[in-house]
Amino acid sequence: MKGGGARVYGTIFKQIRLDHHLTQREVAAGLVSGAALSRFERGQADLPLGLLSQLLRRMGVTLPEYIAMTDQSASAQTQFAAQLDQRYRARDAPALAALCQRALHDYHVTHEARDLVRAAFAASHYFDLTGQVLLKPGDVAALVDKLAAATHWYLPALQTVANVATILPPTRALAIAKLIVADLPAIHALGRGSFEGAVDALLSVHRALIIRELPLAAVSENLLQALSLPPTMLTLRLRRRFLSLLFSYVQGDAQAVARLEQLLELLRRTDNAAVADELAIAFTHIHRRPGPKVT
């Protein structure tokens, strides 16, 4: 149960525990420390199958039943992400809208956060293609509340921010970016993957602010420039450079256009075509909005 799968296993375990109205202490008593169980539920650690089976029995669930639940959840998430990616690459905005509405309907029935996050993912992809926000203010507010409630920024929450930044209210997006920056020492201690997730989230917020609220983008630009990124994080460094140039371009630097095009070409040559497409769409948003353009 390693990597992304570990997060699914921990999330499903926690949901079972909450459904049975049990605390971590009650489930863990005499078998494992509360800290170890907490790390497992957050997807940061694994548990031996024998121990996991004992913990599940305390909640009236067998190991085969639990495995079936996690497999179903992981499969559903993977299928939804694949559908989003396929529709997005095909520039199929109506299909993205349909995926969003389906997930939103599920959320209004189940009130499960994962359904709201799915709807937001689809809505964010739709916004990229059309410039229109599909979610109603109440649903966006619920999403913001979910993100703002994070006491520490673990990878799943960071990935959510990265995927929905474009549809968050700009002031709230910037506030979340500041919370992530404040938590960076703890995030860094979790490992390289978590730190990269934090940078990805911050870059996504900056991209959204350049598109939607340029005065606030000046703040996120400063946050990003203060980050020290090692040479090994080349793609993240290139994304940061592109967004800094885009920020300069919107402020009136006409010479930034040539450098932006060079960076897009470099990304495509280094097997980062998907990143290049994402950044090219951000550039398209700048030209689509009303107001004078740099020539």
6 vs 47, higher pLDDT: 47
> Is residue 294 scored above 50 in pLDDT?
no
> Is residue 277 scored above 60 in pLDDT?
yes
Nearest alpha carbon to residue 200 among 249, 247, 238: 238
> Is residue 289 scored above 60 in pLDDT?
no
Q: Is the pTM for the entire model greater than 0.75?
A: no
> Is residue 3 scored above 70 in pLDDT?
no
> Is residue 73 scored above 60 in pLDDT?
no
Sequence-distant (≥ 6) Cβ neighbours of residue 116 within 8 angstroms = 103, 104, 107, 139, 142, 143, 146
User: Rounded distance, CA 96 to CA 134, Å?
Assistant: 10
> Is residue 1 scored above 50 in pLDDT?
no
Q: Is 35 exposed, middle or buried (0-12, 13-18, 19+ CB in 10 A)?
A: exposed
- Give the alpha-carbon dihedral of 201, 206, 211, 215, to 10 degrees: 150
User: Rounded distance, CA 203 to CA 142, Å?
Assistant: 23
Instruction: Please report the sign of the dihedral spanned by the C-alpha atoms of residue 149, residue 112, residue 26, residue 41.
Output: negative
114 vs 145, higher pLDDT: 145
Span 115-166, pLDDT tens digits: 888 899 999 999 988 888 899 999 999 999 888 777 677 777 888 899 899 9
Between 23-32, 45-54, 68-77, the lowest mean confidence (pLDDT) is in 68-77
* % of the chain residues with pLDDT over 70: 90
Span 11-32, pLDDT tens digits: 788 888 887 788 899 999 999 9
